C-alpha cells in the first residue's frame, strides 16, 4: 500500500510540474506562435485575394497586426492553448517518464535511444489529446477581423461543418502526430543526452545557464527539423484557400503541393518565429519542469 502511495505521489508531482511548465511557457510565447501560424497560412492564392494582409516577415506581421487588429490581437486563440497546455504538458512529461522506463531495453540507466523513443511516444500521445484544440486555435489565429468570434463559437462551427472526426475537430491528426512526434523525439533525446555529458556546476547561476543553453539548443534543433510537418498541419487545419474545395488533405500530399506551387522555402515558413518561440520556450519549459519537480519533491516527499 505504501509503494502504491509513493507511485501515485510521484505521478502527481510529475503532472503538477509538467502542467506548470506548460502554463508558463504558453503565456509568455503565444504571440510568436500566432505569428508563425499567420506566416504558414500564407499562400500565393491568399496573397492575391488579400494583398493588404500579406506579411513580409515577423516585424511586418507585428506592425500590421498592431495597426489593423490592436495590441490584444497577439493573444488571439490563447484560450485553447491555456486550456490544453496545462494537461497537455502534464501528460507529456508524465508519459515521457513512463515511456522512458519502457524503452530501457534491459539497461540499468537510460541511453540516448531511450530518451528519443520516450520523446516520440510522448509526442504521439500528446497529439491525440491536443488536435481538437489545435484545430480551434489555428482557425482563431487565422481570423484577421478586429472582433474575433469566441472559442466556443469557432468550435461549434467546426463541429457543425465537419463533425468530431477527421473532417472536423480531428482534422490534421496525422500531421500533428508527425509534428509533435518528431519534435519531442529530438527535443527530449538531445536535451537529456547532452545534459548528461556536459559537466554540471555547483554554482546555481552557472547550472541555470547550462540547462538554459541546452534547452534552447534542443528546442531550436527540433524546430528546424519538424517545420515542414508544422506547415502541413497549419494548411490542413486552417481555412482552405479555395471555396468549396479541400486542397490540403494528407500530410505528405500537402507538403508536395506546397513544394510544387511555392518552392522549397515555403516548407520553412514561420521557422524564425517558431525558433524564437520554441528555442527559449523549450528552455523555459524544461527549466520550470525541473525546478518545480524539485520543489514539489522537497515539499511533499
Q: Which of 97-111, 142-156, 259-273 has the lowest mean pLDDT?
A: 142-156
Percent of the chain with pLDDT over 70: 94
> What is the distance between the alpha carbons of residues 226 and 259, in angstroms, rounded to a whole number?
15
- pLDDT for 196 beyond 70: yes
Range of the domain at 232: 2-300
DSSP state of 212: H
Structural domains counted in the chain: 1
Give residue for cell 510540474.
17
The model's pLDDT over 71-129, given as tens digits with 9 standing for 90+, comes to: 888 888 787 777 777 777 888 888 998 999 899 988 888 999 999 999 999 999 999 98
Specify whether the CB–CB gap between 239 and 247 falls below 8 A. Answer: no
CATH of the domain at 19: 1.50.40.10
Amino acid at each position: 500500500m505504501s509503494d502504491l502511495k509513493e507511485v501515485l505521489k510521484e505521478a502527481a508531482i510529475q503532472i503538477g510540474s509538467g502542467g506548470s511548465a506548460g502554463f508558463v511557457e504558453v503565456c509568455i510565447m503565444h504571440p510568436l506562435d500566432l505569428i508563425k501560424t499567420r506566416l504558414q497560412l500564407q499562400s500565393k492564392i491568399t496573397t492575391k485575394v488579400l494583398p493588404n494582409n500579406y506579411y513580409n516577415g515577423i516585424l511586418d506581421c507585428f506592425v500590421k497586426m498592431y495597426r489593423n487588429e490592436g495590441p490584444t490581437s497577439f493573444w488571439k486563440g490563447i484560450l485553447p492553448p491555456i486550456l490544453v497546455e496545462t494537461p497537455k504538458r502534464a501528460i507529456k512529461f508524465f508519459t515521457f517518464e513512463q515511456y522512458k522506463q519502457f524503452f530501457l531495453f534491459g539497461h540499468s540507466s537510460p541511453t540516448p535511444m531511450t530518451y528519443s523513443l520516450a520523446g516520440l511516444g510522448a509526442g504521439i500521445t500528446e497529439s491525440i489529446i491536443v488536435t481538437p484544440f489545435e484545430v480551434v486555435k489555428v482557425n482563431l489565429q487565422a481570423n484577421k477581423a478586429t472582433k474575433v468570434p469566441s472559442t466556443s463559437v469557432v468550435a461549434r462551427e467546426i463541429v457543425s461543418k465537419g463533425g468530431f472526426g477527421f473532417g472536423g475537430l480531428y482534422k490534421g491528426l496525422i500531421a500533428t502526430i508527425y509534428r509533435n512526434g518528431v519534435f519531442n523525439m529530438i527535443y527530449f533525446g538531445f536535451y537529456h543526452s547532452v545534459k548528461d555529458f556536459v559537466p554540471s556546476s555547483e554554482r546555481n547561476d552557472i547550472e541555470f545557464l547550462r540547462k538554459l543553453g541546452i534547452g534552447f539548443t534542443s528546442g531550436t534543433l527540433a524546430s528546424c527539423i519538424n517545420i515542414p510537418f508544422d506547415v502541413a498541419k497549419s494548411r490542413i487545419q486552417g481555412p482552405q484557400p479555395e471555396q468549396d474545395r479541400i486542397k490540403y488533405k494528407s500530410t505528405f500530399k500537402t507538403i508536395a503541393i506546397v513544394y510544387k506551387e511555392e518552392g522549397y522555402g515555403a516548407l520553412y515558413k514561420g521557422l524564425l518565429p517558431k525558433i524564437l518561440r520554441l528555442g527559449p520556450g523549450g528552455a523555459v519549459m524544461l527549466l520550470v519542469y525541473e525546478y518545480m519537480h524539485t520543489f514539489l519533491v522537497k515539499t511533499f516527499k
